[in-house]
Amino acid sequence: MTASLPNLHLPRAPALRRQRVDGALRLSYRADRDGITRLADLYQRAPCRVLFPDVDAGEPPQAVLLTTSGGLTGGDRLDIALQVGARARATFSTQAAEKLYRALDDEDDTRIDVTLDVGAAAWAEWLAQETILFDRARLRRSVTMNLGGDAHVLALESVVFGRRAMNERFDAGLLHDVWRIRRDGRLIWADAQHLAGHVQDRLDARLGYHGAAAAATLLLIGPTAAAQLDAVRDTLSALPVTGGATTLDGLLIVRLLGTDAMALRDAAVTVAGLLRARAGGLPARLPQVWYC
């Protein structure tokens, strides 16, 4: 007769803990007594990193932001604070498109918060390359800008709704995108979009994104912003994308939609180059990382 084995009380395997990132970046520039812009402060926490490429004569110092995690997913967080002091000039860009991967149902949303403080008589550029939303990605992003007096800011953000060339679509998920811009503490522009759930119907809707594969927002803020409106509209009329521009309270707003993400990228580069040349007296080219 075979003896029965005793009940074994084995410990349960611990629940799988998913690795998530909580990155931070603090970066500031100041103008010295001779008016030369110099790096004043830098703090970075993985996966946030920044590179400082050499620039051509006459270009502002460049800081190129990157994430070492190879993309973001549910529960990941980035907190980015940038500062350009009075009379200083600086350009902030990103090394490549940021990929937002599928978030699991029990995970928090991906969160990206960007704050840009710009002092009086300063010139700052926030030229982020595309954010690519994979299906079921969930992104909450905020961009907050605080400007002093006659500061100028040129900003570009764009989003790609799935890589169509790879037969990928952003059918469901979340995009909650918020902008807040203040001049001397006064709110001059607030904007938000919210896409949630099964979003493809709204992306395809004629009164929505009308089938666009990608969208971009460009802003020029400062005393010379309104003077650029006619030139921007003339440029938009020759581009293979749907676009519009308007001005209010020292702010030029440009919206672009494209059924082809690369065509929209090219259009955004063209308009941003035009604005940095006319308003900033800079070459009509974006940072070199945009062309790599």
Cα–Cα dist 241/120, whole Å: 35
Domain for residue 1, yes or no?
A: no
What the block records as the tokens of 97 is: 């498109």
Q: For residue 6, what pLDDT is reported?
A: 55
Instruction: Check whether 33 has a pLDDT greater than 60.
Output: yes
Q: For residue 252, what pLDDT is reported?
A: 98
Domain for residue 212, yes or no?
A: yes
Domain for residue 4, yes or no?
A: no
Q: For residue 206, what pLDDT is reported?
A: 83
Q: For residue 200, what pLDDT is reported?
A: 87
Cα–Cα dist 283/272, whole Å: 11
Mean pLDDT score across all residues of the chain: 93
| Number of domains comprising the chain | 1
What is the chain's length?
Answer: 292
Domain for residue 11, yes or no?
A: no
Q: For residue 4, what pLDDT is reported?
A: 53
- Taking only the tens place, the pLDDT of each residue in 152-205 is 999 999 999 999 888 888 999 999 999 999 999 999 999 999 999 999 888 888
Residue whose tokens read 């990941």: 76
Decide: 75 and 110 in contact? Cβ < 8 Å: yes
Domain for residue 63, yes or no?
A: yes
Confidence of residue 135 (pLDDT cuts 50, 70, 90): very high
Q: What is the mean pLDDT of residues 283-291?
A: 95
- Taking only the tens place, the pLDDT of each residue in 37-83 is 999 999 999 999 999 999 998 899 999 999 999 899 999 999 999 99
Domain for residue 249, yes or no?
A: yes
Question: For 290, what's the count of Cα atoms within 13 Å in the CB-facing half-sphere?
Answer: 23
Domain for residue 19, yes or no?
A: no
Decide: 110 and 139 in contact? Cβ < 8 Å: yes
Q: For residue 9, what pLDDT is reported?
A: 56
Q: For residue 116, what pLDDT is reported?
A: 98
Determine what percent of the chain is predicted with pLDDT higher than 70.
94
Cα–Cα dist 134/103, whole Å: 9
Q: For residue 216, what pLDDT is reported?
A: 97
Decide: 40 and 26 in contact? Cβ < 8 Å: no
Kindly give the pairing relationship between strand 251-258 and strand 98-100.
Answer: unpaired
Q: For residue 205, what pLDDT is reported?
A: 86
Confidence of residue 7 (pLDDT cuts 50, 70, 90): low
- Taking only the tens place, the pLDDT of each residue in 78-106 is 999 999 999 999 999 999 999 999 999 99
DSSP string covering 66-95, please? Answer: EETTSSB-TT-EEEEEEEE-TT-EEEEEES
Domain for residue 34, yes or no?
A: no
Instruction: Check whether 256 has a pLDDT greater than 60.
Output: yes
Alpha-carbon torsion 279, 285, 288, 290, what sign?
Answer: positive
Residue whose tokens read 């921007």: 232
Instruction: Check whether 8 has a pLDDT greater than 70.
Output: no
What the block records as the tokens of 140 is: 């909450």
Range of the domain at 185: 41-291
